[in-house]
Amino acid sequence: MRRATLNDVAKEADVSIASASRAINGLDNVAEGVRTRVLEAAAKLKYIPHGGARSLALARTNTIGLLLPDIYGEFFSEIIRGVDVAARARGLHLLVSGSHGDVKEAVAAILAMSGRVDGLLVMSPFVDSQDLGAVFPVSLPLVTIASRIGQSGYGAITVDNYAGGKLAVEHLLAQGCTRLAHISGPESNFEAQERKRGFATAVATAGSKIAPVTIHEGDFTEESGFRCVKDILAAADGGAPLPDGIFVGNDMMALGALFALKEGGLSVPDDIALVGFDDVPIARFAQPALSTLRVGVYELGRRGLELLADALANPDAEPAEGIVISPELVIRESSKRTG
């Protein structure tokens, strides 16, 4: 059976569709008699308002689009949680989509969202997000999370990955490490680049206190962390100096690294100290527990949504200042050296 429309309800209650609409929406200029008649009719017909139609008429969807590289996994899950909680608090709904690391998909997702959302919350760590910028409907409020999309008109919330990288190195040095290595995220990832830059800067600052340093490129997966360490160990077999501290570009790779080190018979942190990035929940369960830089991923999502919601609430306010979140060093066993 066709679903009931407002028209059906109006007919059933023997009033005009306008009155039916008013009654349903609880406007006050409706006679009590009419209201009850309409509500009864609605109940009888199991009428449920058609959200899409209403949105069209109101030019308001009460939905915001969330575009993430992926919509599952520890990290993104936390973002979603932050966004969800904040959205719920404001009566907004979420249309989520994952771009699966593909700019084309991201563009497609945004197109599909057009006309279904009031604003966009986007996390797009691709270095070349120019294509994205091109499609953004000029008029759609947009907030970016940890991304580097040009001139996002409405605000951005970013992580100071550079500072995080520096912190990691400084911590390792303070622990007495003198031969550092870095396992970086993919070249194409903006955040990965910033972390690497922080690493490089801090190393340069330390100057001669540090022996030569190597950098290995992973892709943020556990497996790639494992592989990079294998490379390092192989190089050491070949005579290269073994590092005594590794700053790994994210926790998942650090977990892989840990695994590879254990397998190689090395002790963490005594032979090699390890620092990750992100503080995913699993980090504290690793053996040894993983030192890392906590980003407050939940906060990232929450504040991102709030920024957007505020922009929506007063559309002609100044675009809010960008928010920068500084990672916080969390020291656990993987980097605590007795030395």
Partner DNA sequence: AGCGCCAATGTAAGCGCTTGCATAATCGTT
Partner DNA sequence: AACGATTATGCAAGCGCTTACATTGGCGCT
Binding residue count for DNA, defined by CB under 7 A: 30
Give all strands of the β-sheet with 214-217 in edge-to-edge order.
Answer: 214-217, 180-184, 245-248, 273-275
249/76 Cα distance (integer angstroms): 16
Say whether residue 55 binds a second copy (CB under 8 A).
yes
- 336 and 177 in contact (C-beta within 8 Å)? no
Our CB check for a second copy shows the closer of 74 and 299 to be 74
203/272 Cα distance (integer angstroms): 17
Q: Which of the stretches 113-121, 242-250, 271-279, 327-335 binds a second copy when contact is defined by CB under 8 A?
A: 113-121
Q: Which of the stretches 4-12, 176-184, 271-279, 324-332 binds DNA when contact is defined by CB under 7 A?
A: 4-12
Collapsed DSSP state (helix, strand, coil) of residue 228? helix
Among 18, 31, 48, 174, binds a second copy (CB under 8 A): 48
Query: The tokens of 192 are what?
Result: 């990965």
- Identify the H or E element spanning 215: strand 214-217
Helices 17-24 and 32-45 pack at an angle, to 10 degrees, of: 90
Least distance to DNA, CB of residue 226, Å: 48
Name the nearest CA neighbour of 184 among 170, 198, 174: 198
Query: The tokens of 330 are what?
Result: 């969390």
Say whether residue 17 binds DNA (CB under 7 A).
yes
Binding residue count for a second copy, defined by CB under 8 A: 51
Helices 190-206 and 161-174 pack at an angle, to 10 degrees, of: 40
State the binding partner of 324 from DNA, a second copy, none, CB within 5 to 8 A by kind.
none
Our CB check for a second copy shows the closer of 139 and 151 to be 139
Say whether residue 34 binds a second copy (CB under 8 A).
no
84/305 Cα distance (integer angstroms): 9
Helices 6-13 and 17-24 pack at an angle, to 10 degrees, of: 100
Say whether residue 138 binds DNA (CB under 7 A).
no
Residue 120's DSSP bridge partners are 65, 142
Residues 269-288 interacting with a second copy (rule: CB under 8 A): 281-282, 285-287
State the binding partner of 21 from a second copy, DNA, none, CB within 5 to 8 A by kind.
DNA
242/233 Cα distance (integer angstroms): 7
Say whether residue 104 binds a second copy (CB under 8 A).
no
Say whether residue 21 binds DNA (CB under 7 A).
yes
- 185 and 220 in contact (C-beta within 8 Å)? yes
Say whether residue 115 binds DNA (CB under 7 A).
yes
Say whether residue 133 binds a second copy (CB under 8 A).
no
Residue 180's DSSP bridge partners are 245
Among 113, 121, 172, 180, binds a second copy (CB under 8 A): 113
Positions that interact with a second copy (CB under 8 A): 1-3, 46, 48-56, 61-63, 71-74, 76-78, 80-81, 84, 88, 93-98, 100, 109, 111-116, 135, 137-140, 281-282, 285-287
Positions that interact with DNA (CB under 7 A): 2-3, 5-7, 15-19, 21-22, 24-25, 28-31, 33-34, 47, 49-50, 53-54, 56-59, 115
